[in-house]
């Protein structure tokens, strides 16, 4: 196996190849975090009040909220025909969904929300799928009292951990076939590395606690961790450093300080990283291949223009807020204006003249430019109707629905990217189980159920998992329901497929509940007929029929005439 020096050179090449991409992603982070600086020739002016527009942040936040508010809908393609195979596929879907929820509970932030945010903000999703029994054995976390306690605590959330990484920390080498190698480079506390890697990190904990050089060397509390993995081998090393700011270089002076943690063949037969990029492969370099939601704002400088215009407009209004309101003409300044009771006169000495000054107005040119800049950003990202639900009063439902549907099209590429990344995550969960030879065990997560599910490893081979995300938009959901009901009624459309299209995460359970309710209604009618027979009454003669009423049968409120509810009653009355 190659030396650590060889892998350090590989890391240096991967980091250098993504330099242009990282510059763009740092600009995306600045807009997401509302970090903007005034131009140098303006920052020194005392009357300037900096204003930073939150429109880019609000657009990304709105897209994240729309696509991550509903649980992902899984669809496992069965390997055979027949109801038994379909039932088994449904059980696999529920078990995977159960493990996905547990993996989300393990993390500080939700998996789905981070995947969608990464797709919108970076147009790239990178997630590491960890199988805890394998990680605990490799890192030696099961040895010792503390390791055993940490292992038991980690097992509370199931055997999987889904670690969604910032793409700026991960460098992937892609080929025309698949991701070939992944390098993760991040700054961590030494204690966090020791907790994750257990006995493997003994060399790191035994490293000198202070750096070299100087009269008082700095204390080494953090390290730059490098985790390289390809289809055959995995190498992990760390470079101790002082503080958590900045990344140590993969080569150069840091080579002598590198502490090896792991270097061995992994023997998995697959790469446990879900790495997906949207955008296009028509561009040659890595940066332009990604087209995040804020890409056009970044390349055109719209956000800089908007911030400058908003800053000038606001600063001018603030600077003129204390402008003079009175003009005094005369040989002296002996005019005293008393702002007491409203309407009190001002006494002007002879030879003096007192005139009121109009307050300075807002610069209409700057106001128009600010409005145009905000409209262009809204057009380039997410329409405001999806961000806040604010629309002019009197807007027709059809118009609002059309605007909502058109606005959702702007999120289609990022929705597709997030779905593909999640599908790869679920596929890696199945790959881990096949490698370990362990069955897929879980729970039926439906409300009121909770039965255990067990799928043997032989049943998991060759399965494909598709994921669909449903946008949480009320008008969009109503349009889906109306279209689905028309398709079922007029075209003979499948009810199961119609429920999937309106966003139901478990259409089989909905159909089961509907069938159970229909059976319960039939059983109730049978029981009523039996009781009437015991009482000697024929069905339908149990007493006077109540009058039909309510809004549904009130023409004044948009309902139908009451006679249409029971034409037979009207005939009997005639």
* Two structure tokens written together for 491: 């075209």
pLDDT band at 471 (very low <50, low <70, confident <90, very high): confident
Give the residue with greater pLDDT, 119 vs 149.
Answer: 119
Q: In the prediction, which pLDDT does 389 show?
A: 63
**Residue written as token pair 């037969």:** 269
Could you tell me which of 269, 270, 226 has the C-alpha nearest to residue 249?
226
Share of the chain above pLDDT 70, in %: 79
**Residue written as token pair 């199945």:** 430
> Which pLDDT tens digit goes with each residue over 316-353?
888 888 777 777 788 877 777 776 677 677 777 887 88
Q: In the prediction, which pLDDT does 142 show?
A: 43
Could you tell me which of 332, 192, 319 has the C-alpha nearest to residue 261?
192
Arithmetic mean of pLDDT, 71-78? 83
Residue 547 has pLDDT above 60, yes or no: no
Arithmetic mean of pLDDT, 153-160? 81
> Which pLDDT tens digit goes with each residue over 215-263?
556 678 888 999 999 999 999 999 988 766 555 555 444 556 788 998 9
Residue 6's Cβ-count burial label (10 Å; 0-12, 13-18, 19+) is exposed
> Which pLDDT tens digit goes with each residue over 303-315?
999 999 999 888 8
pLDDT band at 271 (very low <50, low <70, confident <90, very high): very high
Residue 369 has pLDDT above 80, yes or no: yes
Q: In the prediction, which pLDDT does 36 show?
A: 92
Residue 132 has pLDDT above 60, yes or no: yes
pLDDT band at 105 (very low <50, low <70, confident <90, very high): confident
Low-confidence winner among 170-174, 195-199, 338-342, 381-385 (lowest mean pLDDT)? 338-342
Q: In the prediction, which pLDDT does 74 show?
A: 87
Question: In whole angstroms, what is the distance from residue 501 CA to residue 479 CA?
Answer: 11
Residue 555 has pLDDT above 60, yes or no: no
* Two structure tokens written together for 430: 């199945």
The torsion defined by the Cα of 144, 150, 155 and 158, in degrees rounded to 10, comes to: -130
Could you tell me which of 169, 197, 213 has the C-alpha nearest to residue 259?
197
Residue 124 has pLDDT above 90, yes or no: yes
Question: In whole angstroms, what is the distance from residue 405 CA to residue 43 CA?
Answer: 43
Arithmetic mean of pLDDT, 175-188? 91
pTM: 0.75
Share of the chain above pLDDT 90, in %: 24
Strand partners, 222: 189, 241
Residue 23 has pLDDT above 60, yes or no: yes
* Two structure tokens written together for 95: 């078990």
3-class SS letters over 266-295: CCCCCCCEEEEECCCCCCCCCCCCCCCCCH
Residue 275 has pLDDT above 60, yes or no: yes
Output the furthest CA–CA distance in the chain (Å, rounded): 115
Residue 573 has pLDDT above 50, yes or no: no
- CA-CA distances (angstroms) from residue 355 to 194, 326, 351, 524? 77, 6, 14, 88
Q: In the prediction, which pLDDT does 84 show?
A: 76
Contact 156, 197 (CB under 8 A): no
Residue 95 has pLDDT above 80, yes or no: yes
Question: In whole angstroms, what is the distance from residue 8 CA to residue 305 CA?
Answer: 42
pLDDT band at 450 (very low <50, low <70, confident <90, very high): low
Q: In the prediction, which pLDDT does 380 show?
A: 82
Arithmetic mean of pLDDT, 108-113? 88
Supply φ then ψ for residue 566, to 5 degrees.
-150, 85
pLDDT band at 141 (very low <50, low <70, confident <90, very high): very low
pLDDT band at 534 (very low <50, low <70, confident <90, very high): confident
Low-confidence winner among 292-301, 363-372, 387-396, 404-413 (lowest mean pLDDT)? 387-396
Strand partners, 73: 468
pLDDT band at 274 (very low <50, low <70, confident <90, very high): very high
Q: In the prediction, which pLDDT does 144 show?
A: 41
Contact 23, 197 (CB under 8 A): no
Residue 276 has pLDDT above 90, yes or no: yes
Residue 498 has pLDDT above 90, yes or no: no
Contact 339, 326 (CB under 8 A): no
Give the residue with greater pLDDT, 346 vs 80.
Answer: 346
Q: In the prediction, which pLDDT does 571 show?
A: 45
Q: In the prediction, which pLDDT does 245 show?
A: 54
Max avg pLDDT among 43-47, 184-188, 241-245: 184-188
């Amino acid at each position: 196996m190659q030396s650590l020096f060889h892998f350090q050179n590989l890391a240096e090449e991967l980091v250098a190849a993504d330099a242009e991409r990282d510059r763009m992603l740092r600009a995306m982070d600045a807009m997401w975090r509302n970090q903007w600086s005034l131009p140098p020739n303006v920052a020194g002016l005392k009357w300037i009040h900096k204003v930073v527009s939150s429109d880019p942040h609000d657009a990304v936040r709105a897209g994240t909220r729309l696509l991550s508010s509903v649980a992902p809908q899984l669809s496992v393609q069965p390997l055979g025909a027949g109801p038994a195979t379909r039932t088994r596929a449904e059980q696999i879907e529920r078990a995977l969904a159960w493990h996905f929820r547990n993996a989300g509970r393990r993390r500080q932030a939700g998996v789905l929300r981070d995947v969608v945010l990464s797709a919108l903000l970076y147009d790239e999703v990178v997630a590491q799928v960890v199988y805890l029994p394998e990680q605990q054995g490799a890192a030696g976390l099961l040895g010792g009292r503390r390791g055993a306690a940490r292992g038991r605590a980690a097992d509370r959330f199931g055997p999987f951990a889904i670690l969604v990484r910032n793409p700026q920390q991960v460098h992937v080498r892609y080929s025309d076939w698949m991701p070939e190698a992944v390098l993760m480079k991040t700054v961590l506390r030494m204690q966090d590395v020791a907790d994750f890697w257990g006995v493997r990190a003994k060399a790191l904990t035994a490293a000198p606690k202070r750096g070299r050089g100087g009269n008082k060397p700095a204390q080494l509390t953090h390290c730059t961790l490098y985790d390289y993995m390809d289809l055959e081998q995995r190498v992990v090393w760390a470079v101790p450093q002082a503080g958590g700011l900045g990344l140590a270089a993969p080569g150069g002076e840091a080579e002598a300080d590198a502490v090896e943690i792991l270097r061995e063949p992994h023997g998995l037969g697959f790469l446990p990283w879900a790495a997906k990029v949207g955008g296009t492969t028509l561009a040659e370099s890595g940066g332009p291949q990604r087209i995040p939601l804020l890409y056009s704002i970044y390349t055109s400088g719209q956000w800089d223009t908007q911030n400058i215009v908003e800053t000038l407009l606001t600063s001018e209004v603030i600077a003129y807020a204390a402008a003079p309101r009175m003009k005094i003409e005369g040989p002296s300044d002996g005019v005293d204006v008393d702002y007491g009771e409203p309407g009190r006169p001002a006494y002007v000495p002879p030879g003096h003249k007192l005139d009121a000054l109009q307050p300075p107005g807002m610069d209409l040119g700057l106001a128009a430019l600010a409005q145009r800049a905000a409209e262009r950003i809204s057009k380039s990202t997410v329409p405001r109707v999806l961000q806040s639900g604010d629309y002019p009063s009197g807007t027709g439902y059809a118009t609002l629905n059309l605007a909502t549907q058109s606005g959702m099209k702007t999120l289609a590429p990022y929705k597709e990217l997030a779905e593909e990344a999640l599908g790869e995550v679920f596929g890696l969960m199945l790959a881990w189980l096949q490698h370990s030879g362990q069955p897929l065990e879980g729970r039926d997560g439906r409300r009121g159920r909770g039965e255990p599910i067990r799928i043997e490893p032989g049943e998991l081979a060759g399965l494909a998992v598709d994921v669909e995300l449903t946008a949480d938009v009320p008008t969009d959901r109503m349009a889906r329901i109306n279209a689905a009901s028309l398709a079922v009624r007029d075209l003979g459309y499948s009810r199961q497929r119609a429920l999937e299209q309106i966003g139901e995460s478990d259409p089989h359970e909905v159909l089961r509940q509907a069938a159970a309710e229909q059976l319960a209604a039939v059983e109730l009618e049978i029981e009523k007929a039996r009781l009437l027979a015991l009482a000697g009454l024929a069905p339908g003669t149990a007493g006077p029929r109540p009058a039909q009423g309510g809004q549904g049968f009130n023409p004044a409120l948009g309902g139908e005439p009451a006679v249409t509810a029971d034409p037979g009653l009207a005939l009997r009355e005639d």
